[in-house]
Amino acid sequence: PAFWENPMEFQPERFREGKKNSHGYAYFPFGGGPRLCIGADFAMMESIIILSALVSRFEFESVQDEVSMELLITLRPAGGMPMKIHKRPD
């Protein structure tokens, strides 16, 4: 709880643009400070473009009713997250 309220819960709104984090380095996948990855901005923009292209062309449906999470370096679905992917009508 040093950085987040309920840290073991998946709450993606924590990282919404413009939301004030409780600590400047609570989320830093590309490092921080003077050694910040020079490709960080490019990678984030590329991720947004790819995700928006996929979501606009396909529908994603979880195969599981409930997804259990595991905490390694990051929080992730335990055993992966099987999905059904359907092409959206043109």
pLDDT at residue 50 in the model:
98
| 16 CB-near residues (< 8 Å, 6+ apart) | none
Is 3 inside any structural domain?
no
Is 7 inside any structural domain?
no
pLDDT at residue 51 in the model:
96
In the chain, how many domains are there? 1
3-state helix, strand, coil in the chain (%, to 5): 30, 20, 55
Is 32 inside any structural domain?
yes
Is 5 inside any structural domain?
no
Is 2 inside any structural domain?
no
Exposure of 10 in the CB half-sphere (CA atoms within 13 A) = 10
Domain of residue 65, residue span = 12-87
For 28-38, b/e burial (b = at least 16 CB within 10 A) is eeeeeeeeeee
Is 1 inside any structural domain?
no
pLDDT at residue 74 in the model:
80
Is 52 inside any structural domain?
yes
Task: Give the model confidence (pLDDT) of 22-73 as tens digits.
Answer: 566 666 778 888 888 999 899 989 999 999 999 999 999 999 999 899 988 7
